[in-house]
A and B are shown apart, each in its own frame.
Chain A
Amino acid sequence: MGEPGTKEVLNLEELEASGGMMTGRRHILSLLVENKPGVLARIAGLFARRGFNIDSLAVGPTDDLHISRLTLTVDGAAQPIDQVTKQLHKLVNVIKIRDLEPAECVARELALFKVSCSEGEARAQVMQFTDIFRGKVVDVSKRSVTIEITGTDDKIEAFEEMVRPFGLIEMVRTGEIAVARGRGTT
């Protein structure tokens, strides 16, 4: 097939379409973008007008002060991920996009949970869960405890389920960040 001028038959029926399909799984997109005013607005605006949904977004500096890293999670069941990445590539300030497969990256998120509990049994149980999830108590008051948990989003969701019955006053999540496993860069 690769040789020029060869007449190997190509059956049109065998041609398969590429792209435009939903993968059905969550995608973590790690973007390197120029550290310039308005870049975040351009990205958020792009998602809004194309009807793409951002599940979470975390952005911060890299070791190069002209470049920031933006980590987005997107639901691949709701929108075609190749359109999302191609439209992002069109933005002049977006330098590089990596679609990280769950198996090939380390992803972490930080969450703060303010749980309602007074003295006694409830508080002891909450502290026990905190230990099990390797969390840290960062604030305590007469009727509440604030806990910091880091981990994958599954772990954070699991912790939330465990402490909800006690009375979850509020919770704040940062959104995931991720790097590729191994020696290479993301």
Chain B
Amino acid sequence: MRAVDALIECLKAEGVEVVFGLPGGANLPTYDAFYDGGIKHVLVRHEQGGGHAAEGYAKATGKVGVALGTSGPGATNLVTAITDAMMDSVPTVFLTGQVRTELLGTDGFQEADTIGITMPIVKHSFMIQHPLELPRTLHEAFHIARSGRPGPVVVDIPQDLSRADIAYEPADDVRLPGYQPTTEGNQKQIRLAAKALANSRRPVIYAGGGVVNANAAGELAELVTADRFPCTCTLMGLGAFPASHPQWLGMLGMHGTRAANYAMDEADLICAVGARFDDRITGKLSEFAPRAKFIHIDIDPAEISKNVPAHIPIVGDAKNILPKLTAEYRALDTDSSRLDGWWERIRGWQEKHPLGYEDSEDSEIKPQYMIEAMHEATGGEAIITSDVGQHQMWCAQYFPFQRPRQWINSGGLGTMGFGLPSAMGAKVARPDDDVVCLAGDGSLIMTVQELATCVTEDIPVKVFIMNNGYLGMVRQWQELFWDRRYKAVEMGASPDWVKLADAFGALGMRVTDKDELLDAMKTALAENGPVVVDVHVAKEENCYPMIPAGQAARDMVG
């Protein structure tokens, strides 16, 4: 069969049900195979949209998301999404077309050195050099994407090779002598960690996106409740531990709660699971958690002692390690009352510095109120995707996530424009769930073209725009640190979002009055097709608390 037909068979063998892509000259053979290949293809309006849709699909399910692009500009348009997948460890495979082999290196039409350009931003990449390689290479690509620390894999397929005839044989093994991820944790280290937890008087369990990737939320809850351990999550980990639980401290980090940040600051033992001590969490490293020793559980050995030296490193899959750690801890039969003083201190912070905002007295909609309305309108049950900025931070603060894979956003790279296409991918992945994209007016305009995809392909995502007419987060920084010298942050009144939604064929709504907001959201959710709700919020609200860049967590402002 043709190599591209073999490609479809390979995708099916990997469990791929849908791909997001855009055709071009270099991947015409591939598209011919998709014509009657039996895998759903969603035609996007920009390859970046396809890339983020693949990410949204992967984050919503844990399965590998697949995006297609042609050579040259098709591949370069995917670069942002590939980088985003790398930074947030999203299992994705990007299939890019490439010019015919005889044109490689000649500056041919729509030729770009895709492998070279993406080398620093992929977990791994392959260029098919012989059509017979295709089945094994694809199998290896999916294996690498989904195993160990997940990440993006690029497979570059020259046009002539994809037409060639091969005797297709499914590959069921991988030949990757240099790739052997560790999944089982070292039992001795786990025992040591259990003892450390048993002897700690001010412990904190700090969980990140790795727990979500590992599908280990249940195992995390078992550990946290094995004693009265305070638990906090990063932006990427929200939902890994239920926000309604009494042991929940709130998110930590730059816009985290004061209680969570103070707890980290005064802790004597921090147990990090699937988190990487990113600078948004630590603030000034030299002043981060000065009294704490660190247990660091991570599947990527390179993260251990990268930013913060680990006292008890445990390399492996959280899903394997956490139950063993919980069992070892339970066997120690510790006295929970040793944590009484610590909880007294934590409750004190929670009472003295709760997360809060001053609601408006008139009909003005405060951004935090909008998040609360979103929570009520969706019953707290929808999948929420977000763009990047103040709205993202407010949502992380004020929307209590109870389970993983409910909150989908761009954390590591912070890509504006992520929200709508990833919502598209999430809805395709989980059609029975409500999917809401919380967008900023600055972010949405970057990838709004995917509304056309949503309408044409019948993907009913609901976009709620937190519209303050500004690039809000930048404006906040200019206000706080640059003497209010606002430059290049005013978005103006263009576009008229209702008219724009209508032009795309989606339902557009506008809300400016607080009392109409909840009903408008409920109406939007009940509608059959894609809906855009343009919500006008207070223009110059700031997101607090905040650890200013390069400062210590204890010096939060707001």
A4 within 8 Å of B (CB atoms): yes
Chain B neighbourhood of A34, CB < 8 A: 177-178
A138 at the interface (CB under 8 A from B): no
Query: Provided the pairs A12-B199, A33-B178 are in contact, do residues A17 and B311 lie with their beta carbons within 8 angstroms?
Result: yes
Known contacts A38-B115, A41-B119, A86-B301: A1-B192 contact under CB 8 Å: yes
Q: CB of A87 within 8 A of chain B?
A: yes
B12 near A: Cβ within 8 Å?
no
The CA-CA distance from A87 to B123 in the complex, in Å, is 11
Residues from chain A with a CB closer than 8 A to the CB of B332 are 5, 7
Q: Report B129 CB to chain A, min CB distance, Å.
A: 8
Smallest CB gap from B294: residue in A: A17
Tell whether A20 is near chain B: CB-to-CB under 8 Å.
yes
Q: At the interface with chain B, which of A90-98, A103-111, A117-125? A: A90-98
User: Which B residues lie within 8 Å of A18 (CB)?
Assistant: 305, 309-311, 313
Q: Is A19 an interface residue (CB 8 A)?
A: yes
B345 interfacial by beta-carbon distance below 8 Å? no
Task: Please name the residue on chain A nearest to B116 by beta carbon.
Answer: A41
B437 at the interface (CB under 8 A from A): no
B144 at interface (Cβ–Cβ under 8 A)? yes
Q: Which residues from B are CB-within-8-Å of A96?
A: 178
Q: Is the CB of B119 within 8 A of A15?
A: no
Asked if A42 is an interface residue, CB under 8 A from chain B, the answer is yes
A37 to B129, CA, bound (A): 10
Q: Which of B188, B268, B301 gathers the greatest number of chain A CB atoms within 10 Å? A: B301
Tell me the bound Cα distance from A42 to B127 in angstroms.
14
The answer on a CB contact under 8 Å between A12 and B178 is: no
Q: How many residues of B contact A (CB 8 A)?
A: 41
A9 at interface by CB-CB < 8 Å: yes
User: A121 to nearest B CB, angstroms?
Assistant: 54
Q: Which residue of B lies closest to A2 (CB)?
A: B188
CA distance A93 to B415 in the complex (A): 30
Task: Assess whether B293 is in contact with A82, with CB atoms less than 8 Å apart.
Answer: no
Q: Does B331 lie within 8 Å of A5, measured CB to CB?
A: yes
Please tell me if the beta carbons of A19 and B178 are within 8 angstroms of each other in the complex: no
Contact A38 B313 (CB under 8 A): no
For chain B residues 177-202, which have a beta carbon within 8 Å of chain A?
177-179, 188, 191-192, 195-196, 198-200
Q: Residue A38 contacts which of B119, B192, B312 (CB distance < 8 angstroms)?
A: B119
Contact present for B178 and A92 (CB under 8 Å): yes
Does A23 make an interface contact (CB < 8 A)? no
Partner of B309, one of A17, A37, A38, A42: A17
**Cα–Cα distance between A12 and B177 once the two chains are bound (Å):** 39
Interface string of A70-95 (1 = CB under 8 A from B): 00000000001011001101111111
Residues on A with beta carbons closer than 8 Å to the beta carbon of B306: 20, 83, 86
- B313 close to A45 (CB less than 8 A): no
Contacts of A154 in B (CB 8 A): none
Return chain B residues, CB-CB under 8 Å to A16: 311
The answer to whether B302 and A9 have CB atoms under 8 Å apart is no
Q: Which residues of A lie under 8 Å from residue B192 when comparing CB positions?
A: 1, 10
Q: Whole-angstrom distance between the alpha carbons of A166 and B199 in the complex?
A: 69
Residues of chain A contacted by B228 (CB below 8 angstroms): none
CB distance from A173 to the nearest CB of B (A): 28
Q: Does B178 contact A93, Cβ atoms closer than 8 Å? A: yes
Does B434 make an interface contact (CB < 8 A)? no
Known A-B contacts A20-B306, A45-B119, A86-B301; the reply to A1 vs B178 at CB < 8 A is: no
B249, CB-defined interface residue at 8 Å = no
Nearest CB on B from A175, distance (A): 22
Interface presence of B265 (CB below 8 A)? no
B195 and A15 contact, CB distance less than 8 A: no
- Asked if A15 meets B301 with Cβ closer than 8 Å, knowing A4-B331, A83-B306, A95-B177, the reply is no
Assuming A15-B293, A34-B177, A89-B301, is B195 touching A1 (CB within 8 A)? yes
Q: Is the CB of B312 within 8 A of A15?
A: yes
User: Within residues 24 to 66 of chain A, which ones have a CB less than 8 A from any CB in chain B?
Assistant: 33-34, 37-38, 41-42, 45-46, 49
Query: Which residues 379-395 in B have Cβ within 8 Å of A in the complex?
Result: none
A102 to B311 alpha-carbon distance, docked (Å): 28
Q: How far is the CA of A4 from the CA of B331 in the complex (A)?
A: 7
Q: How far is the CA of A92 from the CA of B333 in the complex (A)?
A: 43
Chain B residue with Cβ nearest A41:
B119
Q: How far is the CA of A21 from the CA of B301 in the complex (A)?
A: 15
* Residue ID in chain A nearest B200 by CB atoms: A12
**Cβ-defined contact, B268 with A12, below 8 A:** yes
A42 touches B178 (CB 8 A): no
User: Does A141 have its Cβ within 8 Å of any Cβ on chain B?
Assistant: no
Contacts of A10 in B (CB 8 A): 192, 195-196, 198-199
Find out whether the CB atom of B269 lies under 8 angstroms from the CB atom of A12: yes
Give Cα A17 to B313, complex, Å.
9
Q: A59 CA to B375 CA in the complex, in Å?
A: 58
Whether the pair B302, A87 counts as a contact (CB closer than 8 A) is yes
Residue with the highest number of chain B CB atoms closer than 10 Å, among A5, A8, A93: A5
In the complex, A84→B351 CA distance in Å? 45
Question: Which residues of B sit under 8 angstroms from A93, Cβ to Cβ?
Answer: 178
State in angstroms the CA–CA spacing of A33 and B268 once bound together.
42
B124 at the A/B interface (Cβ < 8 Å)? Answer: yes
Inter-chain contact A94/B331, CB cutoff 8 Å: no
CB neighbours (8 Å) of B195 from chain A are: 1, 8, 10
Chain B hits for A185, CB < 8 A: none
In the complex, whether B304 has a CB less than 8 A from a CB of chain A is yes
Q: Is B55 an interface residue (CB 8 A)?
A: no
Among B120, B268, B308, which residue has the most Cβ atoms of chain A within 10 A?
Answer: B120
Residues of B within 8 A of A4 (CB): 191, 328, 331
Does B441 belong to the interface (CB within 8 Å)? no
Q: Which of B297-325 contact A (CB under 8 A)?
A: 300-302, 304-306, 308-313
Q: Which residues of A contact B167 (CB under 8 A)?
A: none
Contact of A92 among B116, B124, B293, B311 (CB under 8 A): B124
Q: Tell whether A90 pairs with B309 under 8 Å between CB atoms, given A1-B192, A12-B196, A41-B116.
A: no
B residues within 8 Å of A by Cβ?
115-116, 119-120, 123-124, 127, 129, 144, 176-179, 188, 191-192, 195-196, 198-200, 268-269, 293-294, 300-302, 304-306, 308-313, 328, 331-333
15 residue pairs A–B, Cβ–Cβ below 8 Å:
A7-B198, A9-B199, A10-B196, A10-B199, A12-B269, A15-B311, A16-B311, A33-B178, A37-B127, A38-B119, A41-B116, A83-B302, A92-B178, A92-B179, A93-B178
